[in-house]
A and B are shown apart, each in its own frame.
Chain A
Amino acid sequence: MPGSSKSGGAGGLPSPPHTASPSRPLRPSRYVPVSAATAFLVGSTTLFFCFTCPWLSEQFSVVVPIYNGVTFLFVLANFCMATFMDPGIFPRADEDEDKEDDFRAPLYKTVEIRGIQVRMKWCSTCRFYRPPRCSHCSVCDNCVEDFDHHCPWVNNCIGRRNYRHFFLFLLSLTVHIMGVFGFGLLYVLYHTQQLDTVHSAVTMAVMCVAGLFFIPVAGLTGFHMVLVARGRTTNEQVTGKFRGGVNPFTNGCWKNVSHVLCSSQAPRSLSLFVLSLSVSLSPSLPPSLSLSLSLYLTQSKSSLEMMESQSCDAEPPPPPKPELRYPGLSRGHQEQHTEESSLLSKAPPTPTMYKYRPTYSSPGKNHTALTHAYANQMSRGDSLKESSSLLQSSQQPGFRSEPSLDGREAPGERGGGGLGGGGDRPGGGGSVGGAPGSGGGGIPGYSLGGRSYPSFSDPTVLSSGGGASRSSSVRSGSAHNAAHISEATTSTSYKSLANQTPPPRNGSLSYDSLLTPSESPDFESAAPDMSPGRHRTPAPPPVLGYSSPYLSAQLSQQRDAELHQPSASSVALLSSPHRAHYLRVTSSSSPPPPPERERLLQESHSHSHHSQPPPSSAAPQPPHPHHHHSSHSSRPPRFSRPPLLSDSAAPHHYPYRTRSTDTPLAPSTHPPRSPHPPPLGKSLSYSSAAAAEMQYRMVRKASASAGGGGGGGGGIQAPKDEIQMKLLSRTNGQPRSSLSSSGSTPSSPSHPISMSTRPGQAYPSPGNTQSPAHKLGGGVKKVTGVGGTTYEISV
């Protein structure tokens, strides 16, 4: 495995991202891991059968080769099914399905599953709100149902339809390896005097291969056994969604296991079969056909269009205002991706955004990976955040092969438990993590797109990006269309931002989309202010307990309450190892998470406001190293600084985006600072960005409206809404708390004023800010937020 993974990793970036090509480029590096796995499996077993089994069958019984043959057949069958079976791809949505104005539709929709709020994100590529547990795989460029992960060893996504086969493949492969090793050992033990023969040599070689592969395979098997028992997907596990919380998708251990093993094969979406048909896209119906027939043709045509566009990388979503497009892209790897550059060129450059460019220095080591991922993400129009996270992740050489989801987790988690998801799973995690993150060898199943990817897209980054994206989406001038909020969508981010032109992704992180696929654009355009000073904030805001999609309303409310109480507990919550993601929070829940968030927010604010008065700016400096440690190790009250929420008040609406993007740079630019918890550092920075974003949103709300509802005024409304957003944000939540805390800034009411008085300040897209304000000035829409709280959002 390590060898294979390395080869996969080495070949990771075979060609520059084909941003311009309409179809997915052929990337031979994608096939290296699967070819290596197949070669090892078939080759070793064949040698075993040829050299070892004849003697064994003579010596002991013919059952031995039969048993091994059956096991091998089972392994092969499940391997083939896992490789070639459709994992549960959602076809692209019909154009008509997304007839809502992109500028006005929210980026997130909330849905309640067994009492837990789950957030569904808008997939700009596939043009629908992703169902729960669905995720968009950037490698395959598809939304996959019950997305587990993208496995490079089978070169396929593992989703609802083929998870069983993948799991059985792992189980049977473990048994097969044990059998081969055991029988080989038996052969060698009986031939100790004849070890120089070819047969013995081959047997020993096969034993070596088997022994080498046994450790990671067994580790992965154990990991998935735990996942199956808990009813989680790999994606959910590594992002820590359910850590400390309640998993709404579990039915108990027995039912979970039986669902995986005994449920009927899920169907393949019918429209995917239509791809082969070539039907003209003419919308007009032939007059000779009957009505029903013509109707069916139309439907099939639309399906075909979807399918064709799927391969061609789906029609670009209607471009929102140009300045909205990937505002943060300018920061990123523009030079790498022409398509992104073109997108960027549309965005009016803002001084703040450009500010980041000089500081944005991604380490060369992961740079290509980053840019590649970035290109993919950007082209997808999804995750600017990912790029930022990638930048941050570049700081951590050790986690190359981990899926981007890992980025969400605290670095400590990764270091400790490897992909196994932190310390929770010592068995699986240890074995999985045993293969050092470097080179992705240890975690075969989770290398990203066949390329060792610094996948530690920092969850904080992503989350903050999500938050930023939310606010930015509001900014970008999509009036929060209340009408579109069907299910109490609380996020104010808009699909328009997410629906950037999605050029074909090439082999980016498989988990990236999970983290913050569409949030990066918003995130990127966040406050540019942050950049220069932000590097100084090495202490990343701890991951705010990725509770976003699953936090119950009460939790959000509590957070809101807690925002005003700085405490160390928020830090604990934020630190990656302790993510209470799906918290069923009761209204009386304690303050520890919110205060921690509060703290982190403060910290993040301090980070983001380097330009703030010296006290605030100075404050971040000393604690940075401390933060680093604290976030990494425990959750002591890290932030001795006074709350800087007021500092990080509103003026930085757009700046928040850039800020968030900038913060990832900070860790990158200060490698020494982030020895151990680089992800935390990033998360901190991102959370500050997220906080900024939240503040911005709050400000906007305050400025926008009329709405007095929830807390008495826009300023109060915004925080609550922010909190909702936070909770709902898909990203593993660091920014959430920061966002909420920022929202609760008492100075928020003044934000609109400050906003108006600072025209030049990091308004990446002046039109965006203006338009939302303009649109928001209208009526007030009541939205049922998390936990049933009703928020009035001015529309």
Chain B
Amino acid sequence: MSTEFHNLQELRHSVSVATKVFIQRDYSQGTTCRFQTKFPSELDSRIERTLLEDTVKTLNSYYAEAEKMGGQSYMEGCLACATAYLIFLCMETRYEKMLKKISGYIQEQNEKIYAPRGLLLTDPIERGMRVIEVSVFEDRGSSGSSHSSSVSSGGISQR
């Protein structure tokens, strides 16, 4: 019984991360946050080139907007100085607002485009803005992995 249950659990675990592809930062224009739009070859079979490139380009534009030094960021700075930075307790900075927007965008992209293809984008902020991590998932299927195949087959037969 317990073995069966264990096998069933393993069977349910049919999806696992096969590999992770990392889209690195593009430093050709300095240290502003940009990611390479070069399409990683590992994803050739999983997703269309243009989709990923569009996603990365949109993310780049969001980051550029977040880091833009304009009137809003200047006013934020002045206000923060005037209030001895206590304003940060109440208010979100421009960058943080953009990050929320980016996070929502990534989630939406994951739901619509990447999850159906077995991929998952990780928000770069979780990696220190160094990489965009694309997790590639593979369906193991009911047969289970090689190490558990015998067990799973036993489990299946018992069921």
Which of B8, B73, B84, B128 gathers the greatest number of chain A CB atoms within 10 Å? B128
A486 CA to B131 CA, complexed, in Å: 14
Count chain A CB atoms within 10 A of each CB in B22, B93, B95, B126 and give the residue with the most.
B126
A262 pairs with B9, CB closer than 8 A: no
Do the beta carbons of A73 and B84 come within 8 Å of each other? yes
Q: Would you give the shortest CB distance from B25 to chain A, in whole angstroms? A: 6
B117 interface hit (Cβ, 8 Å): no
Instruction: Give A264 to B76 CA distance when docked, in angstroms.
Output: 7
Q: Measured between C-beta atoms, what is the minimum distance from A99 to chain B in Å?
A: 8
The smallest C-beta distance from B117 to any residue of chain A, in angstroms, reads: 13
Q: Is the CB of A263 within 8 A of B69?
A: yes
In the complex, which residues of chain B have a beta carbon less than 8 angstroms from the beta carbon of A77? 84-85
| Cross-interface CB contact of A113 among B28, B69, B76, B129, cutoff 8 Å | B28
Q: Are B85 and A81 in contact (CB under 8 A)?
A: yes
Tell me the nearest residue of chain B to A265, going by C-beta: B93
**In the complex, are the beta carbons of A131 and B130 less than 8 A apart?**
yes
A76 to B81, CA, bound (A): 11
A73 nearest CB neighbor, chain B only: B84
Chain B residues within an 8 Å CB radius of A73: 84
Contact with B along A91-113 (1 / 0, CB 8 A): 10110110100000000000111
Query: Given contacts A93-B127, A261-B77, A271-B127, is CB(A287)–CB(B12) below 8 Å?
Result: yes
Question: Using Cβ atoms and an 8 Å threshold, which residues of chain A touch B101?
Answer: none
Give A99's nearest chain B residue, CB to CB.
Answer: B20
Which residues A96-151 have CB closer than 8 A to chain B? 96-97, 99, 111-114, 118, 128, 131-133, 145-146
Q: Are B74 and A262 within 8 A (Cβ)?
A: yes
In chain A, positions 254-311 with a C-beta closer than 8 Å to chain B are 255, 258-259, 261-267, 269-271, 284-285, 287, 291-292, 295, 298-299, 303
Q: How far is A259 from B67 in the complex, measured between Cα atoms in Å?
A: 9
Least CB distance, B156 to chain A, in whole angstroms: 16
Q: Answer yes or no: A249 CB below 8 A from chain B CBs.
A: yes
List residues of B (1-48) whose CB comes within 8 Å of A's CBs: 8-9, 12-13, 15, 17, 20, 22, 24-25, 27-31
| Cα–Cα, bound, A633→B67 (Å) | 45
Nearest-neighbor residue (CB-CB) of B93 within chain A: A265
Contact A269 B77 (CB under 8 A): no
Asked if B115 is at the interface of the complex by the 8 Å CB criterion, the answer is yes
Do residues B126 and A270 form an inter-chain contact, with CB atoms below 8 A? yes
CA distance A298 to B25 in the complex (A): 23
A262-B77, A265-B88 known; A133+B31 contact, CB < 8 A: yes
Cα distance, A200 to B20, chains bound together (Å): 70
Given contacts A249-B30, A263-B73, A295-B135, whether A91 and B127 have CB atoms under 8 Å apart is yes
B127 pairs with A94, CB closer than 8 A: yes
Q: A258-B69, A262-B73 are in contact. Are A111 and B135 (CB under 8 A)?
A: no
**A97–B124 alpha-carbon span in the complex (Å):** 13
Tally chain A residues at the interface, Cβ within 8 Å. 54
Cβ–Cβ contact A97 & B84, under 8 A: no
Contact A113 B13 (CB under 8 A): no
Cβ-defined contact, A267 with B95, below 8 A: yes
Q: Which residue of B lies closest to A262 (CB)?
A: B74
CB distance from A252 to the nearest CB of B (A): 12
Chain A residue at smallest Cβ distance from B71 = A262
Answer yes or no: B138 CB below 8 A from chain A CBs: no
Contact B17 A131 (CB under 8 A): no
Binary contact readout B69-98 vs A (1 if CB under 8 angstroms, 0 otherwise) = 100111011000100110010000111100
Question: B52 in the interface, Cβ–Cβ < 8 Å?
Answer: no
Chain A residues with Cβ under 8 A from B85's Cβ? Answer: 77, 80-81, 165
A694: B residues at CB distance < 8 A: none
Closest chain B residue to A81, Cβ basis: B85
Judged by a CB distance under 8 angstroms, whether B137 is at the interface is yes
**Across the two chains, which residue of chain B brings its CB closest to A261?**
B77
- Residues of chain B contacted by A94 (CB below 8 angstroms): 20, 127, 133
Partner of B31, one of A74, A91, A128, A132: A132
- Chain A residue nearest in CB terms to B26: A111
Q: A residues within 8 A CB of B120? A: 292, 295
Most chain B beta-carbon contacts within 10 A, residue among A89, A128, A265, A269: A265
Question: Is B99 at the interface (CB under 8 A from chain A)?
Answer: yes
Q: CB of A511 within 8 A of chain B? A: no
Secondary structure of the A contact surface, majority rule: mixed
Residues from chain B with a CB closer than 8 A to the CB of A684 are none
- Cα of A360 to Cα of B11 in the assembled complex, Å: 61
Given contacts A249-B30, A258-B69, contact A264 B130 (CB under 8 A): no
Q: Say whether A426 faces chain B, with CB atoms less than 8 Å apart.
A: no
Does B125 touch A at the CB level, under 8 Å? yes
The docked-state distance in angstroms from the alpha carbon of A218 to that of B24 is 41
Asked if residues A267 and B96 are in contact (CB atoms below 8 Å), the reply is yes
A265 pairs with B95, CB closer than 8 A: yes
Interface string of A236-258 (1 = CB under 8 A from B): 00000000000011010001001
Instruction: Indicate which residue in B28, B76, B125 contacts A267 across the interface (CB closer than 8 Å).
Output: B125
* B99 cross-chain contacts in A, Cβ below 8 A: 267
Using known A-B contacts A249-B31, A271-B127, A271-B128, determine if residue A287 contacts B67 with beta carbons closer than 8 Å: no
In whole angstroms, how far apart are the Cα atoms of A251 and B129 in the complex? 22
B122 at the interface (CB under 8 A from A): yes
Chain B residue at minimum C-beta to C-beta distance from A172: B81
A90 within 8 A of partner (CB): yes
Measured between alpha carbons, how far is A258 from B125 in the docked complex, in Å? Answer: 24
- State the Cβ distance, B132 to closest chain A Cβ, in Å: 11
Q: A97 near B22 (CB under 8 angstroms)? A: yes
A202 at the interface (CB under 8 A from B): no
The reply to whether B69 and A262 form a contact with Cβ atoms under 8 Å apart is yes
How near does chain B come to A115, taking the closest CB pair, in angstroms?
9
A131 touches B25 (CB 8 A): yes
Q: Does A468 contact B (CB under 8 A)?
A: no
CB atoms of B73 and A264 under 8 A apart: yes
Can you name the residue of chain B whose Cβ is closest to the Cβ of A113?
A: B27
Interchain nearest-CB distance for A47 vs B (Å): 22
CB-CB under 8 A for A264 and B31, given A96-B20, A287-B12, A291-B15:
no
Contact yes or no, A168 B81, CB < 8 A: yes
* B113 located at the interface, meaning its Cβ lies under 8 Å from any Cβ of chain A in the complex: no
B13 touches A118 (CB 8 A): no
User: Are A118 and B125 touching (Cβ within 8 A)?
Assistant: no
Cross-chain contact B30 with A114 (CB below 8 angstroms): yes
Query: Which of B8, B96, B130, B133 is packed against the most chain A CB atoms within 10 Å?
Result: B130
| Nearest-neighbor residue (CB-CB) of A92 within chain B | B128
Distance, CA A195 to CA B107, complexed state (A) = 71
State the Cβ distance, A132 to closest chain B Cβ, in Å: 6
Cα–Cα, bound, A118→B26 (Å) = 12
**CA–CA, A269 and B31, complex, Å:** 16
- In the complex, which residue of chain A has the Cβ closest to the Cβ of B77? A262
Which are the 4 A-B pairs with shortest beta-carbon distances?
A77-B84, A287-B12, A90-B128, A264-B73
Question: Known contacts A90-B128, A269-B128; can you find 15 more A-B pairs with CB under 8 A?
Answer: A91-B128, A99-B20, A112-B28, A118-B27, A131-B130, A168-B81, A249-B31, A262-B69, A264-B95, A267-B95, A267-B99, A269-B125, A271-B128, A291-B15, A295-B137
What are 30 pairs between A and B in contact, CB < 8 Å? A74-B81, A76-B84, A81-B85, A91-B126, A96-B17, A96-B20, A97-B20, A97-B127, A97-B133, A113-B27, A113-B28, A114-B28, A118-B27, A128-B131, A131-B130, A132-B31, A165-B85, A251-B30, A263-B69, A263-B73, A264-B67, A264-B95, A267-B99, A270-B126, A285-B13, A287-B8, A287-B9, A291-B15, A291-B115, A295-B135
Which residues of A come within 8 Å of B, CB atoms? 73-74, 76-77, 80-81, 89-91, 93-94, 96-97, 99, 111-114, 118, 128, 131-133, 145-146, 164-165, 168, 248-249, 251, 255, 258-259, 261-267, 269-271, 284-285, 287, 291-292, 295, 298-299, 303, 486
Interface residues of B (CB under 8 A from A): 8-9, 12-13, 15, 17, 20, 22, 24-25, 27-31, 66-67, 69, 72-74, 76-77, 81, 84-85, 88, 93-96, 99, 110, 115, 120, 122-123, 125-131, 133, 135, 137
